[in-house]
């Protein structure tokens, strides 16, 4: 009996050990599977962190120096302050509810009619966004995606500054930009990137042709018209930039930062990012050469300001197309946009008699429109893959129609809302400075400082 008991005990012990080993192995496999599902892609994450830094550099110091160098000395600090303060104001608005309005999903799931304008309130103050929340497919932390998109929300209203430079009150500017970000930028970003109707329509806007440049450029034109021309400004005789070296340094920062702007918008360190990097550079190079050549032929001298402006035009135009066109498309987009923007800045602005101080509309608005439309021409499955989107050049005229609809919708929405906001802000705090302040300079009157002592 004793031997039988010992024999059975050994059998039970062996069975238990086997069961424990199997359970341990199963648990390890379950942990490994869970880890694979939730594992952060460190390569993608590192790249988007770098891209976020590059996009911030576009506004401060890039755009601040580019615009600051173009204005007169007495207004340099007003431009610097207007760019710099955006990094604070827009960041708070974005984290508070802007991100939720663009990328939230509570309204999208419930069928709420407000989904036409915003995604929802489920991510207000980044609720439910933690260090462990990952974006599907690319496996980057949602926290860095929030910040990456925040940089786009910052630079977009900053572009408008170029239209009303040297003649707006700082208080009116801050209120206008805050409201504009809320009711113009956020809904448009939701339409295109947050699951809205333009995205569902199939519109291609890889990095912000409509959301950023057409949007800001049209608002810039409206503001320039409604404010009226600067005191003493003569049509056809541009104001002499006070520091061309600043213009060069600013445009160099913009060119550099744009690689993060475009190549980062795929949210992964992959072939699409590499292609976006390449076509961004090629388009810019083509635009610089085109602008310089026209400047040289028309005005007998190639200018630094002209070359820098041409570079920005090329960067703007390739933005919506960077994830869908090849080098051929990039070359033609850069060259065509540069030529058209030159014509708008040098001829049309004078003929129509509006004072777009630093050509925010002529470069960003027009460049964005050209780029968005030409995306529907040059998009190719060589980049988008088999079954991907392609343009009219490759037989798909439908995509060109979609791009046109998206561009026109952006123009209409931005123009109407900007007009409304102008009247609201002007009634509340006033927008334009007095004639005396404009004559003596915004730096000393609005900020109590001078840029050079």
Q: Could you give the 3-state DSSP secondary structure of residue 117?
A: coil
Contact present, 56 and 151 (Cβ < 8 Å): yes
Any bridge partners for residue 348, and if so which?
A: none
Reported as a single tens digit per residue, the pLDDT across 406-416 is 999 999 999 99
pLDDT(31) > 50: no
Concatenate the DSSP letters of all residues of 177-196 into one string: HHHHIIIIIHHHHHHHHSS-
Phi, then psi, of 371 in degrees rounded to 5: -65, -40
Name every residue whose Cβ is closer than 8 Å to that of residue 257 and which is 6 or more positions away in sequence.
54, 55, 56, 57, 58, 62
Choose among 382, 395, 287: nearest CA to 333: 287
Name the β-bridge partners of 168.
432
Q: For residues 330 and 284, what is the distance between their CA atoms, to the nearest angstrom?
A: 9
What global pTM score does this model have? Answer: 0.89
DSSP state string for 324-379: T--HHHHHHHHHHHHHHHHHIIIIIHHHHT---TT-IIIIIIHHHHHHHHHHHHH-
Measure the CA–CA gap between 72 and 107, rounded to whole angstroms. Answer: 47
Res 7 pLDDT > 60: no
Residue with structure tokens 């992959």? Answer: 270
Between CA 107 and CA 93 the distance in angstroms is 20
| Conformation bin of residue 95: beta by default, left when phi > 0, alpha when psi is -120 to 50 | alpha
**91-100, 122-131, 145-154, 310-319, range with the lowest pLDDT:** 122-131
Going by pLDDT thresholds of 50, 70 and 90, the confidence category of residue 237 is confident
Whole-angstrom distance, CA of residue 59 vs CA of residue 112: 36
Contact (CB, 8 A) for 209 and 372:
yes
The 10s digit of each residue's pLDDT in 246-288 is 999 999 999 999 999 999 999 999 999 999 999 999 999 999 9
Residue written as tokens 């615009």?
Answer: 67
3-state secondary structure of 234: strand
Give yes or no for residue 36 having a pLDDT over 80: no
Q: pLDDT grade, residue 234 (50/70/90)?
A: confident
Contact at 8 Å (CB) between 209 and 396?
A: no
pLDDT in tens, 96-123: 999 999 999 988 876 788 888 899 999 9
* DSSP 8-class letter at 449: -
Give pLDDT, residue 379: 96
Cα(299)–Cα(357) distance, integer angstroms: 20
Question: What local confidence, expressed as pLDDT, does residue 9 receive?
Answer: 47
């Amino acid at each position: 009996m004793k031997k039988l008991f010992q024999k059975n005990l050994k059998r039970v012990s062996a069975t238990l050990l086997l069961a424990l080993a199997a359970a341990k192995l199963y648990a390890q496999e379950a942990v490994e599977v869970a880890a694979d599902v939730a594992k952060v892609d460190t390569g993608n994450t590192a790249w988007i962190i770098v891209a976020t830094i590059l996009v911030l550099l576009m506004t401060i110091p890039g755009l601040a120096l580019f615009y600051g160098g173009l204005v007169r000395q007495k207004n340099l600090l007003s431009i610097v302050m207007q760019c710099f303060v955006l990094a604070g104001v827009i960041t708070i608005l974005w984290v508070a509810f802007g991100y939720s309005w663009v990328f939230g999903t509570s309204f999208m799931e419930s069928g709420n009619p407000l989904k036409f304008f915003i995604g929802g309130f489920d991510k207000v103050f980044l609720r439910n966004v933690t260090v462990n929340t990952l974006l599907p497919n690319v496996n980057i932390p949602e926290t860095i995606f929030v910040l990456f998109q925040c940089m786009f929300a910052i630079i977009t209203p900053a572009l408008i500054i170029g239209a009303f430079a040297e003649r707006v009150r700082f208080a009116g500017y801050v209120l206008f930009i805050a409201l504009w970000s809320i009711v113009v930028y956020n809904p448009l970003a939701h339409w295109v990137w947050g699951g809205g109707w333009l995205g569902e329509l199939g519109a291609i806007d890889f990095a912000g042709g409509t959301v950023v440049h057409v949007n800001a450029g049209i608002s810039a034109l409206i503001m320039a018209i409604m404010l009226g021309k600067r005191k003493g400004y003569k049509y056809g005789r541009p104001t002499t930039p006070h520091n061309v070296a600043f213009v060069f340094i600013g445009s160099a920062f913009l060119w550099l930062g744009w690689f993060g702007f475009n190549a980062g918008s795929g949210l992964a360190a992959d072939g699409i990012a590499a292609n976006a990097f390449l076509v961004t550079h090629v388009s810019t190079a083509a635009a610089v050469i085109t602008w310089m050549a026209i400047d040289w032929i028309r005005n007998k001298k190639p200018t630094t300001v002209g070359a820098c402006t041409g570079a920005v035009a090329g960067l703007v135009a390739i933005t919506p197309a960077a994830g869908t066109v090849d080098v051929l498309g990039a070359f033609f987009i850069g060259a065509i946009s540069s030529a058209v923007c030159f014509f708008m800045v040098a001829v049309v602005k004078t003929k129509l008699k509006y004072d777009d101080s630093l050509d925010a509309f002529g470069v960003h608005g027009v460049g964005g429109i050209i780029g968005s439309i030409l995306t529907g021409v040059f998009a190719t499955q060589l980049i988008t893959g088999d079954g991907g989107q392609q343009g009219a050049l490759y037989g798909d005229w439908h995509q060109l129609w979609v791009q046109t609809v998206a561009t026109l919708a952006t123009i209409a929405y931005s123009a109407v809302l900007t007009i409304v906001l102008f009247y609201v802000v002007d009634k509340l705090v006033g927008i334009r400075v007095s004639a005396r302040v404009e004559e003596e300079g915004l730096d000393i009157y609005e900020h109590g400082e001078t840029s050079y002592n």
